Amino acid sequence: MSIGKYLTNLGVIGAALGALGTARQTQAMPRDWRRFIVWGVWAAGLLLAIVGVAKQIEDEQFEAAQEQEARAERSARKRR
């Protein structure tokens, strides 16, 4: 698992840069539970972006297997 694929993914970069907006937003907020909710939502977005990159390889493998299965099925139909 290389870290480069995470650092170069625009979704991860955008989610990470969202921390700047979140920091600006929370500076003006009172120090209570709502501030933690805002940071939690930001962290969830970053987590989703990272998981999306991690699952990308599995998605590509699944699509390749589906395509191979479809080709085999078309080939079997032609033989009939």
Q: Residues 43-55: pLDDT tens digits?
A: 999 999 999 988 8
Tell me the pLDDT band of 1, cut-offs 50, 70 and 90: low
- Please compute the mean of the pLDDT values over residues 60-76 and round it to a whole number: 89
Q: So where are the chain's domains? A: 4-79
Buried b (16+ CB within 10 A) or exposed e, 5-28: ebeebeebeebbeeeeebeeebee
Compute the radius of gyration of the chain from its Cα atoms: 21
Determine the Cα angle at 46 with ends 40 and 47, to 5°: 85
For residue 38, give both structure tokens. 């805002």
Separation between Cα atoms, residue 37 and residue 15, nearest integer Å = 16
Question: Which pTM value belongs to this model?
Answer: 0.70
Q: Which pLDDT tens digit goes with each residue over 24-44? A: 999 989 989 999 999 999 999
